[in-house]
Amino acid sequence: MSDLVLTERAGDVLVVTLNRPAARNALSPQMMEALTEVLRSADADPEVRVIVLTGAGEVFCAGLDLKAFAAGGDYMGLLWFYHKGLATPLVAAVNGSALAGGFELLLPCDLIVAAEGALLGIPEVKRGLFAAGGGTMLTERIPFAVALEMGLTGDSITAERAREVGLVNRVVPADRVLPEALDLAGRIAENGPLGVAITKRLMRRRRWGTPEDVKEIFGSADAKEGARAFAERRPPVWTGK
């Protein structure tokens, strides 16, 4: 496994850390390849209930490594993640500024905890590019006028402003970002995995559950276990079945 992306287990939670602090965790082709390997492996592992994504150092991610891009390096390596995300719940622990492709890493995440004063933005137009990793879909996440201002000017907003417009869940001191994200991840991991999975899928697609969905989940072994655990006043033991 590459040391460009570090992993650490915390029970049912996997912490994934971008590890190029000297380069502000900029996304080089090698880092994109390593992150792809880690995320796909974690998403396929039934023992990983939640993933926390963070960065080493004082910056979450400065986006595409422009030096590598200028030298002809590959820049398509994470488009799959930007476009499709993961089935596994994903919490972003934004330890510092997240810009361009680094900001767009946040959009497939389900919950975002950000450091006080962190800057978030899509400055691609300032470099003659555009936010190809999902930044153009910001109009679905935040007020239209705010998204357009960010996209067309390339100017950043603070984490506090991002919370005001509904993009960020919590803003905390930098040294509390990872603990707060782990707390949220743990609270997700305590719940029934089938219920969590279908809730994420339906909410992401903005859809009701079908009668078939209801029959599958309400008839599952986990649903029966949840009811028994409630009646017996004990924590449930989930099997994902």
Q: Please state, in angstroms and rounded to a whole number, the distance separating the CA atoms of residues 237 and 190.
A: 9
Please state the φ and ψ torsions of residue 171, each to the nearest 5 degrees.
-120, 125
Of 47, 58, 104, 149, which is the active-site residue? 104
Do 147 and 113 fall into the same domain? yes
Rounded CA gap, 62 and 114, in Å?
Answer: 15
In the block, residue with structure tokens 């570090």: 6
Per-residue pLDDT tens digits for 188-231 = 999 999 999 999 999 999 999 999 999 999 999 999 999 999 99
- Mean per-residue pLDDT over the chain, rounded: 95
Q: Kindly tell me if the per-residue pLDDT of 70 is higher than 90.
A: no
- Please state the separation of Cα 132 from the chain's center in Å: 17
- Spatial separation of the C-alpha atoms in residues 232 and 118, rounded to whole Å: 45
- 112 and 184, same domain (yes or no): yes
- Is residue 209 in some structural domain? yes
225 classed as catalytic: no
Question: How confident is the model at residue 1, as a pLDDT?
Answer: 58
Clarify whether residues 159 and 215 are in a common domain: no
| 163 domain-assigned | yes
CATH number of the domain encompassing residue 79: 3.90.226.10
Spatial contact of 17 and 56, defined as CB atoms under 8 Å apart: yes
Q: Are residues 98 and 161 in the same domain?
A: yes
Is residue 71 included in any domain, yes or no?
yes
Residues 61 and 90 in one domain: yes
Whether residue 240 lies inside any domain: the answer is: no
Domain of 198, in residue numbers: 193-231
Classify residue 239: in a domain, yes or no: no
Classify strands 50-55 and 111-115 as parallel, antiparallel or unpaired.
unpaired
Task: Tell whether 38 and 157 lie within a shared domain.
Answer: yes
Contacts of 17 (CB under 8 A, 6+ apart): 5, 6, 7, 8, 54, 55, 56
Q: Show Cβ contacts of residue 159 under 8 Å, excluding neighbours closer than 6 positions.
A: 94, 114, 115, 116, 117, 118, 119, 120, 168, 171
Query: Do residues 199 and 176 both lie within one domain?
Result: no
Task: State the pTM of this model.
Answer: 0.94
124 a catalytic residue: yes
Q: Same domain, yes or no, for 212 and 175? A: no
Do 130 and 166 sit in the same domain of this protein? yes
- Whether residue 127 is found in the same domain as residue 201: no
Q: What is the pLDDT of residues 163-191, one digit of tens each?
A: 999 999 999 999 999 999 999 999 999 99
Number of structural domains the chain divides into: 2
Pair 143, 201: CB distance under 8 Å: no
Quote the strand ranges of 26-118, DSSP E.
50-55, 59-61, 90-94, 97-99, 111-115
How many distinct helices (H) and strands (E) make up the chain?
10, 10
Catalytic residue, from 8, 124, 212, 216: name it: 124
**Per residue in 103-127, pLDDT tens?**
999 999 999 999 999 999 999 999 9
In which element (H, E) is residue 225 found?
A: helix 221-231
Write down the pLDDT at residue 200: 96
